[in-house]
Amino acid sequence: MSNNYRNGHSKKTVKTQHGEVTIDVSRDRNGEYEPSIISKYSRNADGMEEKILSLYSCGMSQRDISEQIKNLYDVEISPELISKISEKITSDVADWQNRPLKVNASWIK
C-alpha cells in the first residue's frame, strides 16, 4: 500500500496558438505524478489543440471534451478554452457544409 496521495494542484501558464492559457496541474505528496500531455517543465501546448480539434470534429460537445481531457490526462481545460480553440475551424466546417454537391449523371434515372 502506497502512502502517496494527491496534494492539490499548481497553476501553470502555457503558450498555445491562441495566446497564453493558465491550467491546473495535479501534484502528489511524493512528487511522482507525471502529466501526460504537457510535461512538468514544458510551456507549450501545441499537441493538445490537435487532440481537442479531433474530438470536436467527431461531434463531441465542448463540455464532453473538457471531461475527456480531465479523465484521460488529469488536466482541467474550461469549455470556454475549447470553444476558443474550435472557433478556428468553424468557418472551414461551415464552408464544407455549404459546398455545392456534385451529381453523377449515372445516379439519375
More confident residue, 108 or 44: 108
Mean of pLDDT values over 100-104: 79
Specify the pTM: 0.47
Predicted pLDDT of residue 21: 77
Residue 59 confidence (pLDDT) above 80: yes
Q: Measured between alpha carbons, how far is 54 from 69 in angstroms, rounded to an integer?
A: 12
Predicted pLDDT of residue 35: 66
Residue 11 φ/ψ region, left for φ over 0, alpha for ψ in the -120 to 50 degree band, beta for the rest: beta
